Structure 1
Amino acid sequence: METFDFMLILPLVMLQLILIIITLLDVAKRDASTLQGESKLIWVLVILFINIIGPIMYLVIGKKKG
């Protein structure tokens, strides 16, 4: 059995961590009324538990326009 080379997934893990940090900081500094659904807790849970897709969802649809 071959050993798994973690260096292959390291860029993906780093990308995920960077996205999580950036989006959590953005949620923390925003007023809840500027977020879709007006709930910081929901967005924090989405960001943390839906892996790479969660932070991307926040960046695309999480912020209200205007």
Structure 2
Amino acid sequence: MNEEIVLSEILPIIAPIIVIQLILMTVALVLCAKAESTRGPKWVWVLIIIFVNLFGPIAFFIAGRRNEG
């Protein structure tokens, strides 16, 4: 019942999540920087993308970008 958590057991589970998070964050930040306009101030979206971990970039992709065209 008093088991120790070993990093070598957790790392294979956490590593893919970290990689996905970094990829999503990078793509969202690049798209936010290149966008002419967003729904709301860009600096707010940058903060959301950076600090709301996995859900921040997803929120930007869904709600932050304006469909231009």
Output the TM-score relative to the length of structure 2: 0.82
Counterpart residue number, 2:33: 28
Give the % identical residues.
33
Counterpart residue number, 1:53: 55
Report how many residues are paired: 63
Post-superposition, which runs of at least 4 consecutive aligned residues in structure 1 deviate over 4 A? Answer: none
Show structure 1 runs of 5+ residues with no match.
Answer: none
RMSD of equivalent CA atoms: 1.2
Q: How far, CA to CA, are the matches of 2:18 and 2:65 in structure 1?
A: 25
Output the TM-score relative to the length of structure 1: 0.86
Q: How far, CA to CA, are the matches of 2:5 and 2:26 in structure 1?
A: 33
Q: Which letter maps to 1:14? A: V
CA drift at 1:30 = 1.2
Which structure is higher in helix share?
Answer: 1
Distance of aligned partners of 1:53 and 1:2 in 2 relative to their CA distance in 1, 3 Å threshold: closer
Q: How far, CA to CA, are the matches of 1:15 and 1:40 in structure 2?
A: 23
CA drift at 1:7 = 1.8
